[in-house]
Amino acid sequence: MAQRLQPARRAFIRQAGALAAAGASAPLWAATRRDVVVLTAYPDAVVSRFEAAFEKAWPRYRLRVVWRMPHDALPYLRQPGQGGVDVYWSASPRTYVQLKAEKALRKLPVGLAGLPGRVGGSVIDDPDGYFAASEVAGYGFAVNPAYLAREGLPVPADWTDLARPAFAGHLLVPDPVEVGFAPVLVDIPLQAYGWDKGWALWSAIVANARFVGRGGNFVSDEIDGGRSGVGLSIDFFVAAAIANGAPLDFVYPRQGGVNPAHVAVMAGSPNPAGAKAFVEFILSEGGQRILAHPDIRKLPVRPSVYAGLPSGYHNPFAVAEQGGYRYDNGRGRGRAAPVAAAFGQVFVQPRERLAGLWRRLRAADTATWSKAWPLLTAPPCAEAEVDDAAVQQAFFARRDDPAAEARARALELDWAARAQARYARAEALLGGA
């Protein structure tokens, strides 16, 4: 399969070919350098800095990069000889799990001392040692400080701030049915505050918000464009916008979650010694410090690195030690699809109706409020339902299995019907239609 190269890399290869054709001789050390082939989805702005630093630290090796997005990585690595790849380095946890299941990885040949393998309640390393986190992305709030100042709004510090009536019309939420990272955003408050309180909090937040669909970077685009003041997102989208000059900030709530990127050595690595060197470098103090470069802005997985980073650089390990980051990503992974589907049925589809009900609720007298509030904030179902393995499997398999689709759809319709019935009762109490 042809390797897709970025323009600068193609130009380099053309120049190298021209020198060879002209009979130019390379130094002896260059002739003996061995390639380390790395498959990644990281952009050139990230890869080029690691490439330069790695080749300086390990001059006997030359990094050769193959770019593939996560959905293309598995087919590439399933080629005969695994496409000649030594190392897979990307942010796609499911791909690593699948590669491990297919026995396509070898156990990491490096020590992991100083790498805790978890952030709070989230495990980020493979417990069997086949892949390790190389950095984590954090979930939180993209904010436009100028917009908030103009509207007289404070910068939100935590989830409960977003439920304040003052934020009505100023908040953007990614639709978890359409945006890949958003199901975790939904589940973080459900785990942090408890099932009932979490859904109640979400109901008030959704009443203040509008939804954005496909394309996670749309959130930072909307906030940068001044169309909303706060948007729920994941930090690397916002970091990229900031690196390109967007006047944004990113707020990590105390109860957040992380999405790890990983590094692994392929079972068929043609250069296992070079692969080991690259993995060691990525996880080393020096490699981890590169993540804090202003053009990268990622969170290192080696806690000792944070002591040397700029003041105010977010340290999820320190927050976790103080009781933050309780999110259990293992539990969340299994129930992500049914949680997202329930959210879509009770909040996304009837958002306008729900927002109108909340406007009337906030203006209601105490007696009416006490009767209507439970109708707007009740969970769509029992927590045990989304934690049920059969329910999770139905949502996981629905695209390929008609029976699973029928089961998942029946659950969605039930959740929607229950919510609509509650909203109708609230309308009768609050007045209006």
Reported confidence tier of residue 221, pLDDT bands at 50, 70, 90: confident
Q: Is the pLDDT of residue 163 over 80?
A: yes
Residue 335 and residue 387: Cα distance in Å, rounded?
A: 6
| Direct distance between the N- and C-terminal alpha carbons of the chain, in angstroms, rounded to an integer | 59
Reported confidence tier of residue 27, pLDDT bands at 50, 70, 90: low
Residue 96 and residue 103: Cα distance in Å, rounded?
A: 10
Listed in sequence order, the residues at least 6 apart from 189 whose beta carbon sits closer than 8 Å to its beta carbon are 159, 198, 201, 202, 255
Q: pLDDT tens digit string along 85-101? A: 999 999 999 899 999 99
Q: Is the pLDDT of residue 195 over 50?
A: yes
pLDDT at 14: 35
Q: pLDDT tens digit string along 281-321? A: 999 999 999 999 988 999 999 999 999 999 999 999 999 99
Query: Across the chain, what does the average pLDDT equal?
Result: 91
Reported confidence tier of residue 17, pLDDT bands at 50, 70, 90: very low
pLDDT at 239: 86
Element at 63 (helix H, strand E)? strand 61-67
Listed in sequence order, the residues at least 6 apart from 38 whose beta carbon sits closer than 8 Å to its beta carbon are 63, 64, 65, 66, 85, 86, 87, 88, 89, 278
Q: pLDDT tens digit string along 98-119? A: 999 999 999 999 999 999 999 9
Q: Is the pLDDT of residue 18 over 70?
A: no
Residue 402 and residue 145: Cα distance in Å, rounded?
A: 48
Q: Name all domains of the chain by residue range, CATH numbers in brackets.
A: 25-136+260-320 (3.40.190.10), 328-433 (no CATH)
pLDDT at 135: 98
Reported confidence tier of residue 432, pLDDT bands at 50, 70, 90: low
Q: Is the pLDDT of residue 4 over 60?
A: no
pLDDT at 224: 86
Among the ranges given (205-219, 243-257, 347-361), the one the predictor scored with the smallest mean pLDDT: 205-219
pLDDT at 216: 52
